[in-house]
Structures are given as C-alpha cells and as structure tokens.
Amino acid sequence: MIIKNVLATVALLTPVYALSAEFVLTDSATNTYVDHWKTSAQELGINTTTPFSIEKKRLNTGKQSGVDIITIDNGELELTLVPTRGMGIYQVRKEGKRILGWDSPVKEIVNPAFIDLESRNGLGWLDGFNEMLVRCGYEWTGHPGVDDNGQLLSLHGRVQNTPASLVKVEIDDEAPHTITVTGVVAESTFKKSNLSTETRLNIIPGENSFSINDTLTNKADYDDEYQIIYHSNFGKPILEKGAKVHSAASEISPFNDYAKGGLKSWQTYLGPTKDFDEMVFNLKPISDPEGNSLAVLHNKDANSGVSMRFKTDQLPVLTIWKNTDTLKQGYVTGIEPGTSYAYNTKYQRPLGLVPTIKAGEQKHFDLEYTVLTSAEDVSQAVDNVAKIMKKQKVQLKSEPLVDLSH
Amino acid sequence: MIIKNVLATVALLTPVYALSAEFVLTDSATNTYVDHWKTSAQELGINTTTPFSIEKKRLNTGKQSGVDIITIDNGELELTLVPTRGMGIYQVRKEGKRILGWDSPVKEIVNPAFIDLESRNGLGWLDGFNEMLVRCGYEWTGHPGVDDNGQLLSLHGRVQNTPASLVKVEIDDEAPHTITVTGVVAESTFKKSNLSTETRLNIIPGENSFSINDTLTNKADYDDEYQIIYHSNFGKPILEKGAKVHSAASEISPFNDYAKGGLKSWQTYLGPTKDFDEMVFNLKPISDPEGNSLAVLHNKDANSGVSMRFKTDQLPVLTIWKNTDTLKQGYVTGIEPGTSYAYNTKYQRPLGLVPTIKAGEQKHFDLEYTVLTSAEDVSQAVDNVAKIMKKQKVQLKSEPLVDLSH
Amino acid sequence: MIIKNVLATVALLTPVYALSAEFVLTDSATNTYVDHWKTSAQELGINTTTPFSIEKKRLNTGKQSGVDIITIDNGELELTLVPTRGMGIYQVRKEGKRILGWDSPVKEIVNPAFIDLESRNGLGWLDGFNEMLVRCGYEWTGHPGVDDNGQLLSLHGRVQNTPASLVKVEIDDEAPHTITVTGVVAESTFKKSNLSTETRLNIIPGENSFSINDTLTNKADYDDEYQIIYHSNFGKPILEKGAKVHSAASEISPFNDYAKGGLKSWQTYLGPTKDFDEMVFNLKPISDPEGNSLAVLHNKDANSGVSMRFKTDQLPVLTIWKNTDTLKQGYVTGIEPGTSYAYNTKYQRPLGLVPTIKAGEQKHFDLEYTVLTSAEDVSQAVDNVAKIMKKQKVQLKSEPLVDLSH
C-alpha cells in the first residue's frame, strides 16, 4: 500500500516511504526541527476502523518553556510523550480522562534547563518528577550519595533530564498500522560516559496496550557500568484504598526498617494516609518459559487496572514503591522493573546489581503496558501472574538486602 | 461600562469581561501563551485623562534568551515586571529615566536556566541580581549555609529564579481603572515543598504609587517553614551622598561586627566609597493603629525619594542594607521588610524568625511603594514616619542579634 | 565605495555604513535580535574574486535548543562560531570537509542552560566539550578543585558556557573586505567578578588563515585575578600516527608523573591508542623580535597542518595536551597558549601564573591560525619555528612543575 504524500507544504519534515511513513521531528545531526506538527490516519489516507492521530507541540510557559511534547491518540488511548524529558511518558488518557499517571505536586512538565540535579545533596530530580514513566538511569540509578570515587551520584541518574537529540514517528503502511515513536537520548560526557539509548514506543491503533522497546548502546571504547529502573507510576483512578498489586516473584523483602511493618500486607494499598510517606519493597521477579514476568495493579473492585510485562533477563529485579501519603503529597505507587533496586549505586555493587555494558555492546529493554478496563481483563491478568507462579507463593524475607544503618 | 473586544485577531488571548478586562498571557495549566502582546487605554476604549499601556515581550539575546518582561506605563510611572524571574520588578521609570532601581554589574535580565543557585557554595543567585524588587523566599531566605539537616540553603531562596506558571493582566472597567498583573510562582518539589505564591501588582493610571499584594499558599498537607524578604533596592538618582533613610522602628542593631562602626550614622548614606563593601542593620519596625509601618528613603536635598508601607504583622522585621561601594560595584541600598533578617536560616530559628505555614494556610504580604517627587512629598512621608514614632527614638543596640564568630 | 542597503525588509538589523557594513545580530542592551540572517558578497554588492557569505541561525533540537551559530564562508574556509557558547569556534571546514576540529563523544552543540559546571565535583564542562577553540577562563582556568578560600573552581572556568550579550558582523567596504565578528561575553557576578571580553574574529576573503583578537576588560573598581587558556583542539585529518608538533620554546616538562614517560617523544603522536588516556606537557614558549611565538601541528606526510601564532607577553605559557586515546573517546590534541597551565588555580599562584588585571584595565590576546594545505606550507611554517629557535633546542625538564602528590 502506498501512503500519499500530504506534507508538501511542511518543508522541514522528511517523509520517507518504504514500508512505513517516517517523519523526522527533531534531529540534532542535521538540525532538523519542526515546531508544530500533526498527522492522522485520514491525512495519511489510511482507512482504518480506528482513526488515529499524532501531534507534536512545543510548550512556552513557565518552567515548561522549550519543552516538546508528542500526543498519540490511537483511538483508545491518548499518550503524552516528552522528548525534552528523556522520552518519558507523562500520562495515558482514555475517554478523555487520565487512566495511567498520577497527581504530583509538580504540576508543570519541567524543562531540564531549570533543574540542577545535584541540588539538595542530589535531589534536584524531584523538581520535575511527575510522569507515569520515568527512566532512571543509565549511567547510574538509585538514591543520591557519594560513590566510592568521591562523586555525588544524584537521584535516579540523568537520562530523564536529557532532551532527545533525535525524534521520529513512523506509521506502518501495512495493517495494523503500528505507530512507532523513536527517540535517541545521549548521555555523553567527555571521558565519563557515552551511553546512547534509542527508545521506542510502539502502539497499534485501537488497542489498549503499548510497548517500550529500548536499546542502550555503549558507544565508548571502554566497558562501563550501567543501571536502569523503569519507574512506572500509577495514582488515581487505579490506586485507591483496597487496590492490589500482583507480581510473579519468588521473594520480597523490605527496602529498609520502616518497610518491615508493611511486609505482610505488601499486596494491598491504603487510601491516602497522612504521615505514611513511602514504603518500598524489593522483589525478585520470576518469568514464564518465554522469559516474561508480569505485574498487575488493579483497583478495589478489580475492574480497572494496568499490567506490565517485562523480561527478567533484561530487568532482573522489581521495586514496588508505595507512596500512599495524602492526595496533595502525590498519592502514587511505582511498579519498577530494573537492573537494580533504589539503593545508592555503592550499595548495589556488592549485590551484583550494577551490571557492565561492554564497549560497543547493546542492551535491550522490552516492556508492555496494558490498560485493563473490565473485571474480565483484570481477572485474566491476575490469572496470568498465577500461571507464572505455578502455585508457589512469594517468600517474605524480613530483613532488608542492605544494612543502611552505617 | 462595557469594554469592547479589540483582540479578535489574537487567538491565544482570552479576554473575559465581567467587572474587568482580563488577558491571560501565560498559563501552564492550559498551555496558553502569547509571545508579544500590547494593550492600551485607547485600544480598550477607556477614556481616561491619563492614558496607559501594557506590553508583554519575550527577550532573545544572551542570558536573557527566553525571558518574558511586562512593561506597564500608567501615565506617570513605567514599571518593568519579569515573569520569568519570579515576577520581580526590574525597575521603575518616570519621565524617561529610571527613578527606582539600581545599576548592578549584572546587566542582563538573566534567565534562571543559566543560573545554578548552589554554585560558589550557594551564591549563584548573585549571577542574576539586579532588580529593584527581588523576592527572597519562600522556602527559605538569607545567607547561604548548610542547614541543621545537612542541606545547603542557597542565598535568598529560589522564588526569584522561578518562572511564573500563570500570568494575567486585568484592567478594571470602572474608574479609576486599576491595572492588576497577577503572577503565580510555584516552588514545588516532590516531598520537599509545595509553596505557591500568587503575586499581584496593582497600579492606578496617573498615580505615583503601586502596591504588591502577595498570597503565599502552602498547598501541601503538612505544615512547612517559610521565610520572605522583600528585597527592595534603590540606587541613583535617589541614593547619593547625604541621602537619608527614615524608618518607624523601635530598635536597630548591627548585623555583624563590621556594621557596629556605622550604627550611629545608620540614617545617612555615604557617596560611592571604595572598600566600603556592605553594611547591614537589623530593625524592629513599629506600626500605626492600622498595623502599617513606613520606611522612607530620600535624596540629600529631600525633594526626591521613595516610601514603602508594609504591615508588621505580616513582615515583622526590617533589614537596611547599605551597599555604598563604588558605582561600578553596584551603589545601592536595600530597604527590606521581611519575616526574617538576612542571616542563614539556622541562625534565625532561635530568634523566632522562621515562621510556620500550616497545611493549606495562606499568608498575605501587602506593600505599597510611592515615588516621592517633591520636597512636599518627602516632607509629608517623613512626617508620617514621625507620627508612627510618637516622639520615641529608635533605640541603638550595639551588639548583633547573632554571634557569627562560631 | 558605498555598499547598497539590501536589508530593508529585515527590520531588526541595523546596517551602519561608515567604513564598513555593520550588522548587529544580538544586543542585550537594546534587545536587538535576529533569528535567521544571511548576507554575502553578492548581496552587499561587493565584487570580489572570492565570494563570501555569512549566515546566522538558531538551533532548536535536543540540548542544542536555543543555540545560535554563525557560519562564515570566506571562499576558502568555512568557520562555525557559537555565540551561545562564549563565541567558541566549533570547527573549520575546507572544501566541504572538516580540517580543524575533532570528533568528541559530545555530538551536540550544547546550550549552557543544560550544563551544571559544578556537577561531578566541577567537571560539568565536559558535558559540552567538543569545539576546535574553547576559551578557558577568564575568572579562573584549570583543573577543578577547592581554592584556598573554600570555593570550588570548576574545570576551565565559565566563559565558554556564557552566551554572548552582543554579537555583530562587520564587512570592511575597502578591499580586502575583512570580515569581523565581534562578540561580547560578560562574566558578571555581583561582588565576585565583572570581567567582560570583547572577542573578535577576523578573516579575509580568500585566505587560509584567521585571527582572534580578544580584549578582556576588568569593569570592576577593584583589581582581580584572571586566567585564560586558548584551548585549541585538533583531531582528524591532521592528527594521526606520526603527526608532529613543533613549538618555539625554551623548555618542556611533564604535567604529572604519567607524562614523564612520554617526555622524550613529545613532538610525535601515536595513532589512536587504547588506554592511552591523556598526556600533558608544559612548555615555555619563546618569541621572535616582534614578540610572536609559533606552534605548528602537521600530519605524518607533512603536507597538511595548522600553525598558531601568539604573543608571549600576552600568553606566556603553552600546554600541549595529547589525548591520543581511541577514536570514539575523542582522538585529539590541544595546542594551548595561555596565561596559565592546566593545574588548579591554587597550584599556579606560587608559579606566578595567576596574573592580576587592575580595575578598569584591558588585556589583549592576539592569535593567528593558519591552515597549511601543502608540503610547502608545512615546511615554511616549521622553518619559521626554527628561525625563532635560532638552533637552540627545547630543554627537557624531567620533573613536573607542580607536585600533585599531596
């Protein structure tokens, strides 16, 4: 099928028609840039039962000034991607309402230019934290602290506060017309790191799911450490009193002493709770024969939720972050597959959770998010977790993996 | 009276006609933004004896790149507001010349994106300091230093280096057609602070005064500390050798050992003086029965000056900062009502000068600045200070409130 | 000769016709700015044998967002200047290929808004390091470290990460129609520094050379320290295995213990070498009777290279930085005349290499870069070095000037 070229008047865009329509929205190598752009099934001459549209804008207000966002409406879900913030996913909406995401006290989509990651002893990242999907990496991740070499590692690394240098949108010209948004985010510091991540978001028109397929490349001639946490955050409407999380995992332990008190009830959530702050659990996920693990979060009535599929050979650990404090503080839970837990890097090396990426090597990270919209959806997702578990139970380990007292 | 809609061609603006004409220039919540905008009495169909105009621009040069400014000409005064720098007032001009403001070595109106507040051990704020009105707060204020919890508190807080997320202009449709510029500046850091300040500048066409009416809201569900200093800075033409300050106050003490030597002559100013550096005095202002205190600065001939009215229940202390060093270093004095003096926060807690704002609470700060343009104006303002003082004298305390030696 | 005004439709530009055509591209003092601008010999009505053109653009992608670049094509060389990065020279191209410059792992021309110079203990500068000419100064230069007063001096100072506040282009209306790009870069921090550098790049149409003529002014009323290194960086195609550097110098010493091993072979270069990292040498340049010293870098076949002329009374020391690590790490050498070597400032004061600039004083720095395009060019340049040396040899000193062990 040939998609007709309808972009003759948009000089900056480079549609390339091979097996897909490709639109380069940003490319630092060629200084290609489009300020405002939109396409749709109709405009592309694609005759689908589910019309879709993709729009790119630049924001201009307050701390949002200079932030690029891309909104993808696949007919069922409306995703907001943020190229300027490491290709993070701000939120997912359905039927005009947010279904995935949360209400952070940080209301703007903050341009990294306004963020000093090392401020507050490495907590500057908190000035911009409000997305549904935040990549925490790749040079390091975890809580801030001075590493063994004397360098402060700021909270959760730098990638989410790194603008993408290349952004393109592809629409497959064959049914089901998969939409792919690719963004390249480079962590390049002379003599320090040369990690480049090609992020890919794939979504099919009319479906209630989307996938992340990232490729991290060590472009240096030397091996390097890397760490990544896919910090996936969900608040209202899924999170509520009585909401529940299911995870195919062999064991769970408390992150610290405070979390010991919540270990037994790790699967269920409180409503917004004053003085709760945050409780964190470390899980060891297990997978099906294809290597996939599954985590499911659903509401109290078990008729709305989200499932996350990920590969345990790529992301061998899982953090569950229960931040069920009051609504205004940011009532939210994080379901966070990663190479690493949320401890500072220096604590994770002895645990074997700071892997190496060889010179020139590539690492792949594949995740699938599915919005569950009915009791049947939720029930089936929970069953899928049970299938992986094969009637085993998650073992509760009462002691944290790391002794943070010294 | 109905103001006719003259903005049909400016699609981004949202004029709302109720009791006033309202123009939203910036709103992060709705992604409303206007790059360049201007209105005037004539354009609004307002038939006044004093024509006024209001213009909004975005600057594009050097460190000013991306800075929004609003110029308000009320027929007597021309004020320059800087939404990108926390709604600060850059300067006030009269008859084509600056009357309020000063000549800083910092010449550009610096975009906070180029400032790292924690640089130079917390002195990064000095890279952008050149305004007539700088709000120093609200999460903390004062000299930089490591707080008891180990966090570096950078000089004078973050609000002046925070772009406003909402900016709107209102013109009352009833005489005297008060012009109000509202700017919301949010200090939002996940788990750290959620202080939002709605700043309001009010000015009536044809008058030589304007007021600031700010409302600080603690949007968090927990009580928080706050501090604010309204750092109001005046250089030429008011400040000169023999210029004088009057303040309704019960006592004054030197900030540090250096200021002891200038205590007795605290009211008078030197001309530009090599090696003077800065001398700081801490005052306890007193108020009239309505709760208003008054400070007046005037030139040697006592025929030009500025008065500042403020409420002692809102801003219980007053700092006078005499920076009468050479012209090129920034010959300037600060008249600075605040909740706090300029010491680091950890020194002010024992003084009871780090107040608490409860969850959801609002604090109001109301100041009025009047440009004094004649001997009569000055004389009357000085008399008003005397009336509050009721023949009492400011008590001189020879020792600083804080022992900075350890 | 009168150059006709061809810019009637470009309202922001201010062509002034006296002895030259002058175009102000950026001026913070007057808020003059032009987003995109181009001129050429043809457009100016200049009838030259070598047509030239000058173009100014703003970049909009990734970390380049908001970066202004100026491209000057003099018919022989195409230079890319970066006003937003302290008027640095990104690269020089000839016949469509880069001749001067190098391949850094940092691929974008990074807006300083995205750089935190104090990050990684003062190594934030490395996030943007990729230019052919980087000015390292002027408030300080050298490796990061805490100075005697307790302040962290970040790597190589702040000027390269300071956007120019004034940029103008002049084309002489008399033959040979010298093109001059002037950029003013202000390091202004209240109470800390008021150093302003007027950088000038001069190039004549049709020539294979260009000059830098910078004037540093201490605009403060107090004396100040200053330091500057003209960090000039060359990789492929000139740098290769067997490439050679010649420098008119009286002595050379290793920067540190590691460089001791390469002292004897300081003139020749290795090819890209794994684990080489960097080797640094400190030279004392000498000059001809006119005060000019000369350094020459050429390829193995001695038919391509670059020469740098500089004045030893302005720039009394020379650093040779051999970073002949692998291609992907940034295979590059720096030929770096300066007031100072690359040690942290506190080590250079005892060496007398942290000079003073008096209040109001100006310091000039004049350098000339010539692209050598034939064996004759190279041979003559090497001869010129020999003439200054008068048959003396560079004395090898085996010990570093600074003992870095404590």
* Cα nearest neighbour of B111 on chain A: A114
What amino acid occupies position B404? L
Q: Which residues of C touch A189 (CB under 8 A)?
A: 105-106, 120, 123, 126-127
Q: What percent of chain C has pLDDT over 90?
A: 93
Looking at residue A93, its amino acid is R
Task: Tell whether C26 lies on the interface with B, counting CB pairs under 8 A.
Answer: yes
- Chain C CB within 8 Å of residue A333 CB: no
Mean local confidence (pLDDT), C271-297: 98
Residues of B in contact with C162 (CB under 8 A): 63
Q: Which of A33, A117, A191 sits opposite C61 (nearest CB)?
A: A33
Between CA A384 and CA B275 the distance in angstroms is: 76
Which residue of chain C has the CA closest to B114? Answer: C113
Give A 83-142 residues with CB within 8 A of chain C.
84, 112-113, 116-118
Q: Which residues contact B281 (CB under 8 A, 6 or more apart)?
A: B252, B253, B254, B255, B259, B262, B263, B266, B319, B320, B322
Q: Which residue of B has its CA nearest to A103?
A: B190
User: CB of C386 within 8 Å of any CB in chain A?
Assistant: no
Q: Is the ipTM of this complex over 0.90?
A: yes
Q: What is the pLDDT of residue C2?
A: 35
- CB-closest option in B66, B166, B221 to A274: B221
Nearest-Cα distance to chain A for B345, in Å, is: 15
Phi, psi of A386, rounded to the nearest 5 degrees: -60, -40
Nearest CA in chain C to B127: C189
Check CB contact under 8 Å for C165 and B61. Answer: yes
% of chain C residues with pLDDT over 70: 95
The pLDDT value given to residue B109: 98
Tell me the two tokens of residue B184.
């919301």
Question: What is this structure's pTM?
Answer: 0.95
Task: Give the separation between CA B211 and CA B371, rounded to whole angstroms.
Answer: 12
Mutate to test the interface with B, among A57, A60, A108 (most CBs of B within 10 A): A60
pLDDT for res B406: 67
Backbone Cα Rg of chain B? 21
Give B133→chain A minimum CA distance, Å.
20
Our separate counts of H helices and E strands in chain A read 6, 28
Mean pLDDT, rounded, for B219-245: 98
Q: Least CA distance to B59: which residue of chain C?
A: C31
Average pLDDT value over all residues in chain C: 95
Of C62, C126, C130, Cβ closest to residue A28:
C62
φ/ψ of B122, rounded to 5, equals 95, 15
Please give the Cα distance from B269 to B237 (Å, whole number).
13
Which among C237, C250, C173 has a CA at the least distance from the CA of C205?
C173
Q: Which domains does chain B have, with CATH numbers?
A: 19-396 (2.70.98.10)
Distance CA C235, CA C335 (A): 11
* pLDDT reading at B19 higher than 90: no
User: Got the DSSP string for C322-355?
Assistant: EE---HHHH-EEEEEEESS-SS-HHHHTTTT-S-
How many angstroms separate the CA of residue B71 from the nearest CA in chain C? Answer: 14
What integer pLDDT is reported at residue A3 of this predicted model?
A: 36
Q: What is chain B's mean pLDDT, rounded? A: 95
Is the minimum CB–CB distance between B194 and chain A shorter than 8 Å? yes
Mean pLDDT by 10 residues, chain A (406 residues): 35 53 96 96 91 97 98 98 98 98 98 98 98 98 97 98 98 95 98 98 98 98 98 98 98 98 98 98 98 98 98 98 98 98 98 98 98 98 98 97 87
pLDDT for res C406:
67
C156 touches chain A (CB under 8 A): no
Which amino acid does the sequence have at C105? P
pLDDT at site B183:
98
Query: Residue A120 is nearest to which of B29, B32, B151, comparing CB atoms?
Result: B151
* Residue among A228, A255, A231 at smallest CA distance from A140: A228
Token couple for A401: 């993996």
Average pLDDT over residues B124-137: 98
Contacts of A68 in chain B (CB under 8 A): none
Structure-token pair, residue B245: 């300050």
Q: How far is A134 from chain B (nearest CA, A)?
A: 14
What values do phi and psi take at A42, rounded to 5?
-60, -45
On whether any CB of chain A is under 8 Å from the CB of C233, the answer is no
pLDDT at A48: 83
Q: How confident is the model at residue C20 (pLDDT cuts 50, 70, 90)?
A: confident
| pLDDT of C13 | 52
Collect all residues of chain A within an 8 Å Cβ-Cβ radius of residue C59.
28, 31, 33
Number of residues written out for chain B: 406
Q: How far is B334 from B345, CA to CA, in rounded Å?
A: 19
User: What subunits touch chain B, counting only 3 or more CB pairs under 8 A?
Assistant: A, C
Among residues B234, B227, B216, the alpha carbon closest in space to that of B360 is found at: B216
Chain A residue nearest residue C104, CA to CA? A190
* DSSP code at position A328: H
Closest CA of chain A from C125, distance in Å: 9
Chain B residues with CB-CB distance to C164 below 8 A = 62
Instruction: With beta carbons less than 8 A apart as the criterion, state whether B282 and B319 touch.
Output: yes
Q: B10 or C39, which is more confident?
A: C39
- What pLDDT band is residue B20 in, cutting at 50, 70 and 90? confident
pLDDT tens track for C64-100: 999 999 999 999 999 999 999 999 999 999 999 999 9
- B66, B151, B165 ranked by CB distance to A66: nearest: B66
Contacts of C102 in chain A (CB under 8 A): none
- For C58, nearest residue in chain A (alpha carbons): A31
**Model confidence band, residue C220 (pLDDT cutoffs 50, 70, 90):** very high
Q: At C398, is the pLDDT very low, low, confident or very high (cuts 50, 70, 90)?
A: very high
B164 and A123 in contact by Cβ < 8 A?
A: no
How far apart are the C-alpha atoms of C167 and A47, rounded to whole Å? 52
Cα separation, B105 vs B112, in Å, equals 17
Interface contact A190-C330, CB threshold 8 A: yes
Cα separations (Å) of B101 from B92, B145, B238, C145, C229?
7, 28, 9, 37, 37
Considering only CB atoms, B190 lies closest to which of A64, A113, A330, namely: A330
* Out of A186-195, A316-325, B10-19, C366-375, least confident range: B10-19
A146 contacts in B (CB within 8 Å)?
none
Q: Compute the nearest-CA separation of A46 from chain B (Å).
A: 30
Residue B5: per-residue pLDDT: 37
Q: Do A219 and C106 touch (CB under 8 A)?
A: no
Chain A contact present for C65, CB below 8 A: yes
Asked whether the beta carbons of residue A221 and residue C108 sit closer than 8 angstroms, the reply is no
The pLDDT value recorded for residue A406 is: 67
Chain A interface disruption, residue of B14, B26, B28, most A CBs within 10 A: B28
Cβ contacts of C163 on chain B, cutoff 8 Å: 62-63, 65, 114
Q: Which helix (H) or strand (E) holds A305?
A: strand A305-311
Instruction: For residue C19, name the pLDDT band (cuts at 50, 70, 90).
Output: low
CA B82, chain centre distance (Å): 11
Q: Which helix (H) or strand (E) holds B346?
A: helix B345-348
Q: Which of A35, A164, A222 sits opposite C62 (nearest CB)?
A: A164
CB contact under 8 A, A329 and B220: yes
Task: Report the chain C residue with the minimal C-alpha distance to residue A219.
Answer: C328
CA distance C388 to chain B (A): 42
Q: Which residues of B touch C190 (CB under 8 A)?
A: 104-106, 126-127, 129-130, 330
Cβ atoms of C191 and B126 within 8 Å: the answer is yes
Residues of chain B contacting A106 with CB distance shorter than 8 Å:
188-190
Adjacent-strand bridge partners of B396: B252
